[in-house]
Amino acid sequence: MPSRRLLGRGVSLIRSSVGGHSVMLCSGCRENTVAAGEDICARCLPAADPSAPACSHPAAVGASQQAASDPAASPPAAADTRVRAPQAPPAPGLRPVVQAPVAPGPLSVLRSPVGLGHAVSVLLLLVAVGEIAAAVAALNLRRLMELAAVGYSEEDAELADRLLLITSVFQVALYVATVVVFIVWFHRVRSNADVFAPGTLERGRGWAIGGWFVPVAGLWIPRGIAVEVWRASRTDPFAPDRHEPHTLVNVWWVGFVVATVFTRYADRAYDDAGTPEQIISAVDRLLVGNGLQIVAAVLAVLFVRRLTHMQHTNASKGAGRTVAV
C-alpha cells in the first residue's frame, strides 16, 4: 500500500476486510477504524499534532514514545522545497574589514604669546647691549695693538683681557637664554596658527623647534614657518599675500642670516690672527659683526612684537576658536 505524509510524518494506511467491506484502520493504534479519507483516529491525533487533545490509548502513546526515543526508526521529515537565493562563495584570501572608530585628536587651544613676546623682546635688547659692550672691549684691544710698536703697560693688557672675558661670558649667557625663550615663543605662535587657520600650514609644530637645528636647512626652514604663521595670524588668513605682506619677516630673516654668517667669519679671522696688524684687521671685522648683530636684534624685536600683536588682536576679536587637529 503506498504511503502518505500527514502533518510532517510518514503514516502507512492499513486496510482490512470486515464482512466484505474495506475498512480503514488507524495507523497509530491499528485498532480503531477511521472515516474514509482519514489516516488516524481522534484518539491518536495528538501524537501526530501536538495542538490536538491528548490521546490516552496505550498503543498510540507507545507509538509516540517509540518514535521519540528512536529517531532512526521514525520516517524522514519532509524535504524543504522552499527556493533559496544562491549565495556567492567568499573570495579567496579576503577577510571582513572592521574599521575602528577614529580617536579624536588633541585639541588646539589659543594660548597667549604676549608674556613670552615681552620676555623675548627684553632679552633681544639685552643682546644688543651685550654687543655694544663687546664692541667696547674690541676697541680697547685695537688701541693696544696700535701701541704695540711703542709698547703698553701690563695693566692695560690685563684690563683688555678682563674686558674680553667678561663681555664674552655675558654674551654667551644672554645668547643661550634668548635662544631658549625665543624658540618657546616661536612654538607658541606656531601652535596658535593652527587655531586661526587650521589646515593651511605645511610643517607641523615640531618644526618650530627642530627646524633651527637642522644643518644648512636651518637657514630657511624657520623662515618658511614664520611666513606661514604670519599669514595665518592676519585679519584674513586666506587673503592674497599683498594683504598684510610679510615684508618684515623677510627683512628680519635676512638681517639674522647675514649677522650670523659674518660673525662666524670674523671670529675665525680673529682666532687665526697672530701679528698686531692681523689682530687689528680681525678686530675691525668683529666690530662690523657687532653692528650687524645689533641691527639683527632690533629687527627681531620688531618681528616679535608685530606678530605677537597680530595674534593678540585676532584672539581679542574672537577670530580664534578651539578645534581638533
pLDDT value of position 88: 52
Radius of gyration (Cα) for the chain, nearest Å? 49
- Can you tell me the distance from the alpha carbon of 200 to that of 75, in angstroms, rounded to the nearest whole number? 77
Strand, helix or coil for residue 23: strand
318 exposed, middle or buried (CB, 10 Å; 0-12, 13-18, 19+)?
A: exposed
Burial 234-259 (b: 16+ CB within 10 A, else e): beebeeeeeebebebbeebbebbeeb
Least confident segment among 112-116, 171-175, 320-324: 320-324
Q: Work out the average pLDDT over 234-263.
A: 92
Q: What is the mean pLDDT of the chain?
A: 78
| Alpha helices for the chain (secondary structure H) | 45-48, 58-69, 114-146, 154-196, 207-210, 221-232, 247-272, 276-316
Most confident of 143-147, 273-277, 309-313: 309-313
Write the DSSP string, 79-90. Answer: P--------PPP
pLDDT value of position 77: 47
pLDDT value of position 133: 96
pLDDT value of position 59: 44
**Chain CA centroid to CA 185, Å:** 22
pLDDT value of position 180: 98
Strand partners, 11: 4
| pLDDT tens-digit map of 261-303 | 999 999 999 999 989 999 999 999 999 999 999 999 999 999 9
pLDDT value of position 32: 73
Percent of the chain clearing pLDDT 90 (strictly above): 52
pLDDT value of position 319: 58
Cell (9 digits) for 170: 655675558
- Indicate if the pLDDT at residue 111 is higher than 60: yes
Domain ranges for the chain: 4-69, 114-318
pLDDT value of position 280: 94
Contacts of 253 (CB under 8 A, 6+ apart): 222, 223, 226
Nearest Cα to Cα of residue 49 among 221, 41, 57, 166: 41
pLDDT value of position 243: 80
pTM of the model: 0.65
| pLDDT tens-digit map of 25-72 | 677 777 777 666 677 777 776 655 555 444 444 444 444 444 444 444
Q: How many residues does the chain have?
A: 325
pLDDT value of position 31: 72
Q: Are 279 and 273 in contact (CB under 8 A)?
A: yes
Q: Work out the average pLDDT over 230-241.
A: 88
Most confident of 107-121, 160-174, 286-300: 286-300
Burial 134-173 (b: 16+ CB within 10 A, else e): bbebbeebbebbeeeeeeeeeeeeeebeebeeebeebbee
Q: Are 4 and 39 in contact (CB under 8 A)?
A: yes
Strand, helix or coil for residue 266: helix
Most confident of 73-77, 135-139, 146-150: 135-139
- Indicate if the pLDDT at residue 259 is higher than 50: yes
